[in-house]
Amino acid sequence: MSEHPWPAGAAWLDGRFMPLAEAKIPVTDWGYRRSDVTYDVVSVWNGAFFRLDDHLRRFQASMAHFRLQPRETIEELRGILHELVRRAGLREAYVAMDCLRAAAPPGLPRHPRNARSYLLAFAVPYVWLMPREVIARGAHLVIATARRIPPVSVDPRAKNFHWADMTQALFEASDAGADNPILLDLDGNVTEGPGFNVFSVTAGRIATPDRGVLEGITRLSVIELAARLGIPCEIRPVPAEELRAADEIFISSTAGGVIGVTRLDTRILGNDRPGPITGRLHESYWQLRRQGWHAEPIDYARAAAE
């Protein structure tokens, strides 16, 4: 067996390593049929995981929230993720971890307490939220009419597959010729978009929503970067009207870092290029990552185990 046998993608499914193309779940499992699953995604850049401890901590909290209990420990999962990247031989990777619920065995009540949980994880080449040329010129976004599922129904702080609202909003954005949507809550405040957190900049001050959102790891990184750069950053409700009138808007995602927004609905922001504060945060984020900020290196020289 070669050191990096699966460059197209490596997977771990229910206790076994395999090429990504072989990873399949039963169609009767509730992870598929009921979206009874939680997940997290961590990135690898320059051969190192970024903030892996934070991602594992959030994944563990999400599993506890949904009462999912796989047999592997978090430290065993850490080793699995490292092994997946080694087997794929990827220096820049998108590494996903899912915990799914199977179906209740025959003869037992069809209740989730009777169904076991198991892990699926995979590593593939790094995935960008939007094409690189879109990130360079700035994203074109719309505020969708579809409203975010309220947190009292599905808590977004635990990552989940309840994406019906996001999917509807993505079609709205596509129909409007935009790259992506932003969703509001039932009170008209900004929440998030499909796979990203949202930030506004007004009079040199950053604001990002405090509720109804996934507490993103890249969002956390932006908040830390703002403190390092001396830029005021507030975590609070952000009304849609404030976002529409902002001097700058940017988004954050594991799949791209800090991404400027240059159009919102019919408005062109600034000179139709990412603004100066957005630019400082974008450059600082990638510069620090290249320098090993919050990095956990991968030992590629270690031969992959059978």
Q: What count of other Cβ atoms lies within 10 Å of the Cβ of residue 146? A: 18
Q: Are residues 118 and 199 in the same domain?
A: no
Q: Are residues 212 and 247 in the same domain?
A: yes
Q: 10 — phi, psi (to 5°)?
A: -120, 145
- Look at residues 127, 149, 168 and tell me which one is the last residue of a structural domain: 127
Q: Are residues 140 and 283 in the same domain?
A: yes
Q: Are residues 140 and 280 in the same domain?
A: yes
- pLDDT for the residue 15: 97
pLDDT above 90 (res 302): no
- Cα 240 to Cα 246: distance, rounded to the nearest angstrom: 10
- pLDDT for the residue 306: 41
Quick one: tokens of 172? 């709205």
Q: Are residues 189 and 268 in the same domain?
A: yes
Residues spanned by the domain of 109: 10-127
Q: Are residues 139 and 159 in the same domain?
A: yes
- Cα 123 to Cα 131: distance, rounded to the nearest angstrom: 20
Give the model confidence (pLDDT) of 254-271 as tens digits.
Answer: 999 999 999 999 999 999
Does 305 reside within a domain? no
The arithmetic mean of pLDDT across residues 276-302, rounded, is 96
Query: Tokens 């994406």, residue?
Result: 163
The two beta strands, 139-147 and 192-193, are: unpaired
Q: Are residues 283 and 186 in the same domain?
A: yes
User: DSSP letters along the chain, please?
Assistant: --SS--TT-EEEETTEEEEGGG----TTSHHHHS--EEEEEEEEETTEEESHHHHHHHHHHHHHHTT---SS-HHHHHHHHHHHHHHHT-SSEEEEEEEEE-PPPTTS-S-GGGS-EEEEEEEEE---SS-HHHHHH-EEEEEEEEEPPPTTTS-TTS-BS--HHHHHHHHHHHHTT-SEEEEE-TTSBB-EETTEEEEEEETTEEEE--SSS---HHHHHHHHHHHHHT--EEES--BHHHHHT-SEEEEEETTTEEEEEEEETTEEPTTSS--HHHHHHHHHHHHHHHTTTTEEE--TTSPPP-
Q: Are residues 115 and 139 in the same domain?
A: no
- Which domain CATH number covers 49? 3.30.470.10
Give the model confidence (pLDDT) of 141-173 as tens digits.
Answer: 999 999 999 999 999 999 999 999 999 999 999
Q: Are residues 185 and 147 in the same domain?
A: yes
Does 306 reside within a domain? no
Quick one: tokens of 58? 């959030």
Percentage of residues of the chain with pLDDT beyond 90: 96
- Cα 123 to Cα 103: distance, rounded to the nearest angstrom: 26
Does 302 reside within a domain? no
Q: Are residues 55 and 113 in the same domain?
A: yes
pLDDT above 80 (res 2): no
**Total number of domains constituting the chain:** 2
Q: Are residues 286 and 152 in the same domain?
A: yes
pLDDT above 60 (res 128): yes
Does 23 reside within a domain? yes
Give the model confidence (pLDDT) of 41-86 as tens digits.
Answer: 999 999 999 999 999 999 999 999 999 999 999 999 999 999 999 9
- Which domain CATH number covers 178? 3.20.10.10
Q: Are residues 281 and 265 in the same domain?
A: yes
